[in-house]
Structure 1
Amino acid sequence: MFHRIRRRKQDAFDIEMQRRHQEMWEMWERMPRPTPPSPHAGVQPAEPVAEVDDFLPPDLRIPSHDQVAGRMMPWLRPLVLDGEIVACAECGTYRDWIIISTRDEIWLRCRAGHEQQERRLDTAWYNRHSAPVDATHATFEDCLRHLGH
């Protein structure tokens, strides 16, 4: 009985936090964005400027394929889409997901490490349900460790 009461309180708290996050997101989107003036507006260079290579030496550069481009969030509850509970195609797990948003695609990763693309979700859905970014990680594995997977 106490587990149900605690779970209901937690669910109510989660719903309230998602509502507050949505309100803050909408407020942020309504805020006007100033456009800074260009420092070189109307100035023409006297002679052509030579193109300069990246300032880091090649051995210190991070190749772009190693960089993580996307965001992740935990989703502990069952994920219900179109009245259907989403389950892992390989192991059947239906809760405790990591939801990954990258390159306008949404991927689900279960606790066992199986990944599947979820075409019924989009980046807008992810943005509505995610919290603000609390950390940045250099690798995919670092981010999974941070999220407890």
Structure 2
Amino acid sequence: MWQRMPLPTPPMPQPGVQPSEPVAEVDDFLPPDLRVPSHDQVAGRMMPWLRPLVLDGEVVTCAECSAYRDWLIISTQDQIWLRCRAGHQQQERRLDTAWYNRNSAPVDATHATFDDCLRHLGH
């Protein structure tokens, strides 16, 4: 059947219309018109993670108090940090910004300070 289908004809150049220049590829998952301008970017982003966090088949626990759920996951400066309900923080090197972007919801608020964000997220 595919042999009987007509082939599409390539578009014909229009007089006076210049072909567009190639667009440079950008290594980011958001198109440029959806990105925040760099002068408005925040130092980081946070999201709650209520359930246990399992990495490489292991439940992640707080190094100080052994908490294993109800994390705040913080993405800042290409690093991922975990903060337990008791306020202990530890870097999680098995996660990266791409993981954070795949698992986070859209930003619902911006905050002037880290403490304001903590209050907003109930920590």
Q: Normalising by the residue count of structure 2, what TM-score does the alignment of the two structures yield?
A: 0.67
Aligned to 1:104: 78
The corresponding residue for 2:95 is: 121
Matches of 1:110 and 1:68, distance apart in 2: 22
Give the residue type in structure 2 aligned to 1:138. Answer: A
Structure number with higher helix proportion:
1
Partners of 2:44 and 2:89 in 1: CA distance: 15
TM-score by length of 1: 0.56
Moved over 3 A (4+): none
Q: 1:88 aligns with which of 52, 59, 62?
A: 62
Confirm or deny: 8 A CA contact 1:137 1:143 kept in the other structure.
yes
Q: Which amino acid aligns with 2:113?
A: T
Unaligned segments of structure 2, at least 5 residues:
1-28, 34-40
From the CA coordinates, give the structure whose radius of gyration is larger. Answer: 2
After TM superposition, the structure 1 = structure 2 runs for residues 9-88 of structure 1, keeping only pairs within 5 Å, are: 29=29, 69-88=43-62
Q: Residue 80 of structure 2: SS of its match in structure 1? A: strand
Structure 1 residue 140 corresponds to structure 2 residue 102? no
TM-align CA RMSD: 1.9
Superposed CA offset, 1:53-106 (max 9, x none):
xxxxxxxxxxxxxx9500000000000000000000000000000000000000
Identity over aligned pairs, percent: 83
Instruction: Kindly tell me the number of residue pairs found equivalent between the two proteins.
Output: 88
Conserved 8 A contact 1:109-1:115: yes
Q: Where is the strand percentage greater, Structure 1 or Structure 2?
A: 2
Q: Deviations over 1:19-38 (max 9, x none)?
A: xxxxxxxxxx587x67xxxx
